[in-house]
Amino acid sequence: MSQPVIIILTIAGYFLLLLAISYFTGRGSDNSTFFTGNRRAPWPVVAFAMVGAAISGVTFISVPGMVVNKGFAYLQMVLGFIVGYMLIAFVLVPLFYKRNLISIYGYLDERFGQSTYKAGAWFFFLSKMLGAAVRFFVVCAVLQLLVFGPLHIPFEFNVIVTIALIWLYTVQGGVKTLIWTDTLKSFCLIMSVVLCIYFVATNLGFSFGEMCSAISDHPSSRMFFFDNPKEGTYFWKQFLAGVFMAIATTGLDQDMMQRNLACKDSKQSQKNMIVSGITQFFVIALFLLLGTLMVIFLDRNGIAVPGKTDDIFGMVATHESMPVIVGVLFILGLVAAAYSAAGSALTSLTTSFTVDILKAHKNKDEHKVTRTRKAVHVIMSLIMGLVIVAFYYLSDQDAISAVYTLASYTYGPILGLFVYGMFWRKPVRDRLVPFVCILAPCLSWVGQWALRQAFGYETSFELLIMNALITVIGLRLLSVGVAKKA
């Protein structure tokens, strides 16, 4: 059986599972089900689902290859994620539940006003659309290489088919469906990476003890970097960036918080956040362990490490010396990560655009709200498809770096808005806030360039902190001369 046929059958089997889950979870659903899951999701299920939700196709492909240039430095950032998740659990979750928010950006409306609210919603729209498109672009590119290319099918058709499949299984159940499909995704991801570790280690002739020794002795398994503060891998830069990146891309992201707000109350949501944050550390560690094993495999077989380290996982998984099951596991994990991540992005974009920008939920006619929501869902799918195709022809950057760089620029203003809103009570000139949100990323880019030119300082993901700080300073300036509300 040819490789394209095996991959197509794997995708078809996984998609049938998604459709079955969508059918059972979408029965009797309404707009409340789509937006909040009726707040009935059990927290252990949400916690396990969140592990998969945090891992996209980019993580699946890029993280194992990161060990070539950065070792296990990414775990420094993941340690920061754990602290960030705890801050989300005890600061943001009670705030959102207290206000019974459908979209978390409703807080900005209550705290600042309509202009700030719209600015936050539009920045989320930009952040999520670009981030989701980059993540899904990576998967479409792999499928193009392994399936559609050999069959002489153009990339555009590849994107149309995959986006259509995602739209189909998310259109009815919304976040309720996503929680259960993310649970399936978490299981498939963990199973695929564990089995891939087993098969690669077996191919190398390692026992469990020998595998552990080989990984710990290999230079790519270095985790902590305290020696050079100018490097992007320096511990405190990675750790602090991880804290704020988690707060911005999970706690202030409608996509991720939509799942957490589906729990019955804030206490259950807090348990979910803490458990999923700690579990995520061990799952990411498995990907890095696999990465070192794959580098050892390439060395043993005299295969040069590819210039683009994202290619390592696929290269080893489909190598002729590997059993076919490894290639199937690679595709299964990749498809599980990609479909779920893109599906959740479409759901959250639909929710935010419908609620925050169109304010359709204010309409008392349930039928009209449903019609608006479904129309927005189609439009979001079309836009995502167009952005993916644009990335295919324009982008040449490392995928995971591209995701976090985009996040640093687009989530920075959102983080700044929430920080100011929670720690300073003084009102600001609401109509000028969008200008601050646009100016902050521009000044961050200038600052990043100036630091590199003047001091040789390589800015890493702390760019997010710089961006948020500039936003807070701008808001403080906008508060000068504004009287406090009575």
Helical H runs in 322-398?
A: 324-352, 366-394
Taking CA atoms, 378 is separated from 164, 173, 375, in Å, by 9, 15, 5
How far is the C-alpha of 81 from the C-alpha of 416, rounded, in Å?
18
- Tell me the Cα Rg of the chain: 22
For residue 78, give both structure tokens.
């993941």
Taking CA atoms, 449 is separated from 127, 358, 442, 446, 467, in Å, by 22, 38, 11, 5, 14
pLDDT of residue 486: 47
For residue 244, give both structure tokens.
């704020």
Q: What is the pLDDT of residues 153-179, one digit of tens each?
A: 888 888 888 788 777 766 655 566 677
Query: What CATH code would you report for 3-421?
Result: 1.20.1730.10
pLDDT of residue 395: 59
How far is the C-alpha of 350 from the C-alpha of 354, rounded, in Å?
6
Q: What percent of the chain has pLDDT over 90?
A: 14
Q: What is the mean pLDDT of the chain?
A: 80
pLDDT of residue 476: 92
* pLDDT exceeds cutoff 90 at 347: no
Give residue 288's pLDDT band: very low, low, confident or very high (50, 70, 90).
very high
Residue that wins the pLDDT comparison between 281 and 403: 281
Residue 374 CA to chain centroid, in angstroms?
24
Q: What is the pLDDT of residues 356-387, one digit of tens each?
A: 778 776 665 677 777 887 888 888 888 888 88
For the chain, the domains span: 3-421
* pLDDT exceeds cutoff 70 at 3: no
Give residue 438's pLDDT band: very low, low, confident or very high (50, 70, 90).
very high
Give residue 1's pLDDT band: very low, low, confident or very high (50, 70, 90).
low
Q: Would you give the DSSP letter of residue 263?
A: B
Residue that wins the pLDDT comparison between 58 and 346: 346
Question: How many Cα atoms sit within 13 Å of 376 on the Cβ side?
Answer: 25
pTM over 0.85: no
Nearest to 165 by CA among 340, 30, 389, 375: 340
Mean pLDDT of 219-230: 86
Residue that wins the pLDDT comparison between 33 and 393: 393
Q: Would you give the DSSP letter of residue 365?
A: -
Mean pLDDT of 180-195: 80
Q: What is the pLDDT of residues 391-413, one digit of tens each?
A: 777 655 455 566 667 777 888 89
pLDDT of residue 433: 92
pLDDT of residue 31: 54
Counted residue by residue, the chain has a size of 486
Residue 388 near residue 149, CB atoms below 8 Å: no
Residue that wins the pLDDT comparison between 466 and 131: 466
Q: What percent of the chain has pLDDT over 70?
A: 85
Mean pLDDT of 232-240: 85
